Every structure is written in structure tokens, then in C-alpha cells.
Amino acid sequence: MTRPHPINRAKKLPRRAVQARSRNTVETIVEAATRILASDGWSALNTNAVARIAGVSVGSVYEYFKNKEAILDVILDRHLSSGEAQLAELAAVTHDAVCLDDIVGLLVEGFVVVHCDNPRLHRVLSGEVPVSDRQRERINQIRSQAIALLAGLFAGRVERPELKATLMIDAADALTHKWFVDEHGVPAKPGDMTRELQQMLRSYINA
């Protein structure tokens, strides 16, 4: 008696979005996941919720993403790409072109630009979501490059420039990720965030 062939239960690998319609679907899925993260946090994110908010089937979500971590990976990639773009702008600043206050101003404005579009989301990205080894390595690389650039701009102007650059980068990163809120829980306006953070860091560097 011939035995039936075993059924292949392996899951299909998510496919790449090539056509415009597919890319639009992926964008809709990522946007839905972003909304869930910003409003309800990591614990509320699952593929069923993403499909419901995106207005697509769960099958459509799995067609492009194997799980919610894969969607998160795209969101983190975009966030880190924004940070790398701001880092490139800082790299273009020459040592003798700006004063200390201007350096602090540029630093703060860069961090605010990266985080002002969705402060609630960045609070979640900073404190709740799991970060893969690949993304952690990328984050550490961006941090190291930022510290080195800032220390170079501080060289000859302040004592222990690398230490001060490290403290300022970490402070600006932490505070813009957390993004202060008012007594009603509403995130501060970007201008308010920029002004307060610049005042704090300028006081430190000029002390």
C-alpha cells in the first residue's frame, strides 16, 4: 500500500513588496502598528490588532511580515535612519565655524527633529519594545559616532571633551525619547522641548 505524501506545513516566507499596490499595503500595515504602539504600547500590538486597524486580513499581514517583531523592525529601522541623517548634518559642522552655544543648539534641534513627529511612539520605543542584536549594534554605533563628533567640536574649548560629549548625547537622547508631558498628559510642543533642553545643556557646558 502506498503511503500518502506528508503535508508540508512549513510557513511561506513573507514576500517583498515590489508593486505599488503591495508597497501601499505594507505602508498601511506599518502605520497601523505605529498607531497601536503610540496609543497602547507594546503589549497591545499583535497581528490581529494590526490587521483590524489597517483594514486588511490577517493573512495579508503575514504575507509581508512573519510576526509583530518584523513589523517593529521596520519601525525601528526608520527611526534609526532619521537619527543617522541628523548625525550626518552634525558631521558637516566644522570646529571653528560655531561657538559652544551654537553647537548645543544644533545638537538639541537634531534630537528634537527626530522625535517630535510622534513623541508617544518614541516613549514606547525607548522603554517597552524588545530590540534585536542587529538593532542594538546599530544604536550603539550611532551613539559612538555622535559622541566622537561632539567631542571633536568640543576639543580645545572645554575640559574632558569626550566625557562632556557622552553626558550630553545620553541626556539629549533620553530626554527626547521620554519627551516631557504637561499635567494633562499632553506632549510638550517641539519649541518648548527645544528651548528647555537647550537651556539645560548650555548651562552645563558653560558652567
Q: Is it the case that residue 181 has pLDDT exceeding 90?
A: no
For 50-74, write each residue's pLDDT tens digit: 999 999 999 999 999 999 999 999 9
- pLDDT, residue 7, reads 38
For 125-147, write each residue's pLDDT tens digit: 988 999 999 999 999 999 999 99
Residue 187, strand partner residues:
181
For 91-112, write each residue's pLDDT tens digit: 998 888 889 999 999 999 999 9
Q: Is it the case that residue 90 has pLDDT exceeding 60?
A: yes
pTM of the model: 0.82
- pLDDT, residue 21, reads 79
In this structure, of 39-43, 77-81, 178-182, the range with the lowest mean pLDDT score is 178-182
Share of the chain above pLDDT 70, in %: 91
- pLDDT, residue 94, reads 85
Given pLDDT bands bounded at 50, 70 and 90, which one contains residue 16? Answer: low
